[in-house]
């Protein structure tokens, strides 16, 4: 009798354990080891120095001189975290650099340790937008959107109190990629522009007159004459300029994709996600610290982040007002919690439930 009771208790405990401790959902992140993986099928290789930053993991103030640390300092300078006026950086992890690391960690929502820990190095090595993060922040309880210095915006003569502004865009006649068809590229950009148009009183119309367009789009490699050279596959993906400049440039060395089912490369980058982000810069938005926002600066390979979040909407509407047909109620704070594009992977627990049922009935038969 005691033996039988023990067996029933064991069954009950096992059943409760499996029910209440399902496999958890957790964010998938690019690790230094994962980032450096390439396959023989990839035609592009990463030429930036960022992949070498993994050797600085766990470095902090007081560490011995580490060869190459000066390159990491240049990275921090490029994106607005070090205000050193010259490029004569040393390989010493000094107090000034520790302050820069603290600022970077705060901006990206990482634990502020002043140390180049695993999460910090992983974020640094992740592909990102080339626009600096140094714009003055406008942070409230739940708002983390920022603007370019002076809060520039488009002022178009066609706009009035009753008529929305109209901006034209055009693709470069000579600086495009040839492995994605032009109709596919045009469709991706049309969707990206439409997302912003749905929340602000601006219409975006494509034009064939490249020289006269308000917004110009092209793919370029290396030093292409705007002072913001690209660095090869991954690293900096694209950049755009504040209003009313209108230039939007994409790194031609990336493996761009509009459909991951067709693009097999592990290094494929979603063109529509990056286009939506860069349009935000064209409109005057800087980088957001909300990880699921379109204006968050980093995007991992084979990830999508296309849909505007509440932070994006409030930021752009503060510049241009709201589209009369837009209802803010369609957005909620929960929109900032999850997004397929951020690499948030929710592991299905269906296998756990099936296992629970299977084990329960097997043990029931045995008993």
Catalytic residues: 278
Question: What is the largest distance, in Å, between two alpha-carbon atoms of the chain?
Answer: 90
d(CA 175, CA 91): 39
**Omega prior to 271 cis, within 30 of 0:** no
Q: Is 235 annotated to bind ligand?
A: no
Residue 214 annotated as lining a ligand binding site = yes
251 is in an annotated binding site: yes
- Per residue, the 3-state secondary structure of 29-62, as one string, reads CCCHHHHCCCCCCCCCCCCCHHHHHHHHCCCCCC
Binding site annotation covers 25?
no
Cβ neighbors of 334 (< 8 A, separation 6 or more) are none
Rounded to whole angstroms, the Cα distance separating 9 from 31 reads: 43
Q: Is 239 annotated as a binding residue?
A: yes
On whether 333 is known to bind a ligand per the annotation, the reply is: no
Contact 210, 173 (CB under 8 A): yes
**Are residues 46 and 233 in contact, defined by beta-carbon separation less than 8 angstroms?**
yes
Residue 256's DSSP bridge partners are 269
What three-state secondary structure class fits 247?
A: strand
Q: How many CB atoms lie within 10 A of CB 17?
A: 10
Q: Is 232 annotated as a binding residue?
A: yes
The annotation status of 249 as a binding-site residue, yes or no, is: yes
Angle at which helices 182-197 and 271-283 pack, to 10 degrees? 50
Rounded Cα–Cα distance for residues 38 and 36 (Å): 6
- Gap between the Cα atoms of 46 and 339, Å rounded: 27
The answer to whether the beta carbons of residues 27 and 291 sit under 8 Å apart is no
Known binding residue 224? Answer is yes
129 is in an annotated binding site: yes
Q: Return binding residues for Zn(2+).
A: 129, 224, 226, 239, 249, 277, 281, 287, 295
Q: What are the binding residues for Ca(2+)?
A: 214, 231-232, 251, 254
Provide the annotated binding site. Answer: 129, 214, 224, 226, 231-232, 239, 249, 251, 254, 277, 281, 287, 295
């Amino acid at each position: 009798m005691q033996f039988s009771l023990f067996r029933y208790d064991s069954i009950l405990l096992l059943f409760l354990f499996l029910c209440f401790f399902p496999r958890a959902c957790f964010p998938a992140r690019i690790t230094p080891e994962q980032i450096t993986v390439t396959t023989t099928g990839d035609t592009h290789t990463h030429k930036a120095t960022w992949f070498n930053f993994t050797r600085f993991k766990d470095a902090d103030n007081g560490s011995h001189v580490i060869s190459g640390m000066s390159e990491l300092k240049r990275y921090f300078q490029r994106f607005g975290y070090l205000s050193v006026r010259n490029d004569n950086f040393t390989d010493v992890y000094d107090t000034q650099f520790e302050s820069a690391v603290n600022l970077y960690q705060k901006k990206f929502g990482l634990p502020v340790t002043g140390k180049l820990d695993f999460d910090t190095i992983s974020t640094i090595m992740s592909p990102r937008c080339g626009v600096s993060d140094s714009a003055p922040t406008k942070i409230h309880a739940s708002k983390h959107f920022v603007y370019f210095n002076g809060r520039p915006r488009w002022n178009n003569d066609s706009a009035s109190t009753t008529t929305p502004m109209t901006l034209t865009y055009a693709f470069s006649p000579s600086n495009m990629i040839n492995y994605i068809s032009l109709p596919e590229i045009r469709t991706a950009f049309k969707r990206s522009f439409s997302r912003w148009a749905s929340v602000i009183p601006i219409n975006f119309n494509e034009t064939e007159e490249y020289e006269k367009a308000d917004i110009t789009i092209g793919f370029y490699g290396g030093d292409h004459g705007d002072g913001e050279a690209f660095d090869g596959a991954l690293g900096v993906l694209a950049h755009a300029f504040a209003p009313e400049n209108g230039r939007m440039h994409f790194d031609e060395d990336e493996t761009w994709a509009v459909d991951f089912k067709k693009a097999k490369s592990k290094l494929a980058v979603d063109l529509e996600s990056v286009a939506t982000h860069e349009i935000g810069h064209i409109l005057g938005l800087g980088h957001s610290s909300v990880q699921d926002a379109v204006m968050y600066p980093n995007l991992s390979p084979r990830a999508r982040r296309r849909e505007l979040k509440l932070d994006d909407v409030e930021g752009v509407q503060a510049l241009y007002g709201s589209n009369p047909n837009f209802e803010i109620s369609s957005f909620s704070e929960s929109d900032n919690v999850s997004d397929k594009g951020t690499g948030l992977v929710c592991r299905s627990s269906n296998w756990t439930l099936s296992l629970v049922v299977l084990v329960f009935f097997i043990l029931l038969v045995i008993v």
